[in-house]
Structure 1
Amino acid sequence: MSTEPGTTPAPAPSPGQPHSHAPNHGSRIHGCLLGGALGDSLGYAVEFDDISAIRARFGPAGLQDFSALDAGSPFSDDTQMTLYTADGLLEALEWANDGVASDINACLWLAYLRWLGTQSVAVPASAPFQPPRWIDAQAVLKNRRSPGNACLSGLATGEMGTVKRPVNPDAKGCGAVMRSAPFGLIPHLEPETVYKLSADAASLTHGHPAARQSAGVFSLVIHALSSGQSLRAAAESALGHLRGGILRKGENPDPDVVARLQAALRLAGDLPGGGHVLSPEDLVSELGEGWVAEEALAVALYAVLATAPETGTETATADAGTAEAGAQAHFRAAIAVAVNHSGDSDSTASIAGNILGAYYGEPCLPADWLAALEAPEVIRGMASRLAAVTGS
């Protein structure tokens, strides 16, 4: 934490304890959305490459920085759908602030249908019409950037998928997770509400329990970080909620979700302060490639935790500039781990970027990376709208 000149730094907070001089909630919203877009953009350059191809192109360490991409790299459907998730929540909150009740999941479904219309897919005639909103006028969001099959097919049915009536019963792809950070950015909600909102929205396109549970856990991590918990404590508390009764009556934790998340926490447990980060090959062997929901979340959590400074040192610094430099170093290191593997690099890095942005706020985002980001004004525009409607 930063201190005034001539003072003694305060003791480092224990895991889960709020930090002094923590970022305000508006900074966390901006950091989360921009951080996710940065991870998504860097990972999108190598999304379909295995690690041998990445090394052949960028050297033994793989892709580490936007400076290695001569033509830059745009963000993908991950960022597009995250912004549309934010807009669906934004509409529901606008109605609420006007004293009008709304069906939140219906607002999200309609937002996703508007996204579907940007992907050269006809919106089903049976789907309700909704007037366009600010987000729909942003030309950069109309590009087709490798959207997930389950997202497209689930929305193209024209049916509003639910937990009990899933449109894609067996779909467990990471498309349900990578868009779900905004649920954790709404303040003053109980964890049970955050989880339900996220899991219900995942069910609009992905019917497998692992998909909605992974999405719900991810949103709980963001929610805990936004409330001031440490990275490790946020991950552990989210997993604890999954195993401790947050699920619907009669639903059990998916064993694959629990196993992958436990593995991520175990593998990262002894690393802060000088351990050896897993090689890309071992990362995939232990946690998976990230194409399915629980693997994408596990890889991202591992990348964030394994590269974290020793407990408390990210805040127990002599001045704000040192703290900011440390946060940016952590961001760069974590995104590099999340990008460089044989798997869904943009989704794993997007999730990692969301997590670190929610934790540190905007100061963790490297200026040179932001300068390379496609259409930052669109992402900032959505972040500002969400911050304003939540009173941040």
Structure 2
Amino acid sequence: MSRAAEETWRARIRGCLLGGAIGDALGGPVEFESGQSIVAAHPERLRTFVSGSAGWPPGTITDDTQMTLFTVEGLIRAGVRTDRGIGFTVAVVHHAYDRWLDTQTLQAPSGERDGWLQGEQWLYARRAPGNTCLSALTGARKGGDRIPQFGGQAANDSKGCGGVMRVAPFGLLPAKWFDRDWVFDSAADAAGYTHGHPTGKLASGALAVIIREICGGADLNAALDTTAAVLAERPDHLETSTALAAARQAAASGNHGPATVEQLGGGWVAEEALAIAVYAALAYPEPEQFLDALALSVTHSGDSDSTGAICGNLLGALHGETALPAELVFTVEGRPVILQLADDFALEFSTPTRLHGDYGPHTAWSTRYPGW
């Protein structure tokens, strides 16, 4: 890609990941509150970071951002793995989620893992992680016929939003190497490592394709048109397609507010979380409206951190990092690590041969990101 195109792509990567973290941290403390109580406490909607329970200061991210960061790391490590001549292996992302599981079950890094992300002590905090993610990943460690190890789909029927809230990075992969169907199916598979219901997977594939189209220069409505066509080709797409159509209709009708969000659902399941995020992004699509969209996306009686995270992913990819609200960027937890991963992701998928060197596994880059 040209230098200008690469600069835009890098800004979208940083915007997507940091925007998702901001939306996550904005909604996390009110995740289990009713929409009425949120509005009562924040008549102008929730536009600043607030504290949650004990040990949850303002600006704190949740499992949504934690798992998204491990998705990024897994994709980088899958890129490094191609040095072995065996292609791009998405199951490497499943291995990354296994390292995330350590952050939820241990107090500190064990010293037995490789790579650098699992060594970040601040990630070893439980912020209401999804039970389905925990149980599915724990089961994958055991292996066996019912629950294969890395790369196997979860043996459950859950369509909770724990899959869709973490797969945005698949849409950031460069289109010249990863085509639309591959992005959709791979994001769906990655969600399926913990959530086995078709809708949980299809909503995740849809989010990845929306972001892919945005990164290719499409506006949000055009990206949704393309995604609708891709969805229509998949079996079992009706729940996801219907939810996205409802979000678009609600956005087009005007009168944007929490009452409309509530009509789209609570966001606890995948298609509702995606629909609420899309609705808020469509309601306030301009760069200067970024905070308006995030505030709307988290002001409801449901999974506010996940809907905020997905909305932030979408608008961050659409507008780039310069549109992010400075007062929230300044204080969000983990910003240095988020941006370091964003930049490393861009490096891996723009100049991999210069980083991997002549000897594949024997480089500083592959020590930082081992290929498994």
Q: Given the two structures, how large is their TM-score scaled by the length of structure 2?
A: 0.84
C-alpha displacement at 1:100, in angstroms? 3.1
TM-aligned CA deviation for residue 307 of structure 1: 1.3
Amino acid at match of 1:73: G
CA contact 1:154–1:161 (8 Å) conserved in 2? no
What SS class does the counterpart of residue 22 from structure 2 fall into? helix
**Which residue number in structure 1 is paired with residue 123 of structure 2?**
141
| Distance change (3 Å), C-alpha of 1:161 and 1:256 | farther
SS of the aligned residue for 2:90 comes to helix
Q: Where do 1:71-220 residues align within 5 Å?
A: 71-96=57-82, 98=83, 100-101=85-86, 104-120=89-105, 131-157=113-139, 158=141, 159=143, 166-187=153-174, 188=176, 189-220=178-209
Partner of 1:307: 284
Shift of 1:295: 0.1
The structure 1 residue matched to 2:321, chosen from 348, 357, 362, is 362
Q: Distance in 1 between matches of 2:285 and 2:10?
A: 23
Please tell me the residue identity of whatever aligns with 1:112: Y
Q: Distance in 1 between matches of 2:277 and 2:66?
A: 19
Quick one: distance in 2 between partners of 1:169 and 1:372? 38
Post-superposition CA distance 1:239-275 (Å, at most 9, x none) = 21110x2x3xxxx1332211111101111125xxxx4
Distance 1:121 1:131, change over 3 A: closer
Alignment CA distance shift 1:144-1:294 (3 Å): same
Aligned residues: 334
CA–CA separation in structure 2 for the residues paired with 1:23 and 1:337: 30
Could you tell me how far apart the structure 1 residues matched to 2:14 and 2:104 are?
26
For 2:274, the equivalent position in structure 1 comes to: 297
Which string of whole-angstrom CA distances, capped at 9 and with x for unpartnered residues, describes residues 145-196 of structure 1?
Answer: 111111101001024669x974342110000100000000110211011011
* Residue pair 2:276, 2:297 contacting (<8 A) in 1 also: yes
* Identity percentage of aligned residues: 40
Q: 2:294 aligns with which of 335, 340, 352?
A: 335
Mapped to 1, the partners of 2:130 and 2:90 lie a distance apart of 20
| Cα distance change, pair 100–220 in 1 and its aligned pair in 2 (3 A) | same
Q: 1:209 to 1:130 in 2, by over 3 A?
A: farther
1:280 Cα offset (Å) = 1.4
Q: Between Structure 1 and Structure 2, which shows a larger proportion of helix residues?
A: 2
Q: 2:222 matched to 1:222? A: no
**2:25–2:332 contact (8 Å) kept in structure 1:** yes
Q: Structure 2, unaligned stretches of length 5 or more?
A: 352-372
Provide the rounded CA distance (Å) in 2 between the counterparts of 1:227 and 1:87.
Answer: 22
Counterpart position of 1:33: 17
Map 1:367-382; keep pairs closer than 5 Å.
367-382=326-341
SS at match of 2:231: helix
Q: Which ranges in structure 1 are unaligned for 5 or more consecutive residues? A: 1-19, 123-128, 310-326
Give 1:55's match in structure 2, choosing from 39, 49, 53: 39
The answer to whether structure 1 residue 231 and structure 2 residue 220 are counterparts is yes
**1:324 alignment partner in structure 2:** none
Could you list the runs of 4 or more consecutive aligned residues of structure 1 that deviate by over 4 angstroms after TM superposition? 20-23, 67-71
Q: 1:177 and 1:161 mapped to 2: Cα distance? A: 21
In structure 1, C-alpha distance between the alignment counterparts of 2:154 and 2:106, rounded to whole Å:
17
Cα deviations by residue, 1:199-249 (Å, 9 ceiling, x for unpaired): 111111110000000000000011101111101111121121110x2x3xx
How big is the shift at 1:71?
4.4
CA root-mean-square deviation: 2.4
1:242 maps to 231
Matched residues in 1 for 2:112 and 2:179: separation? 30
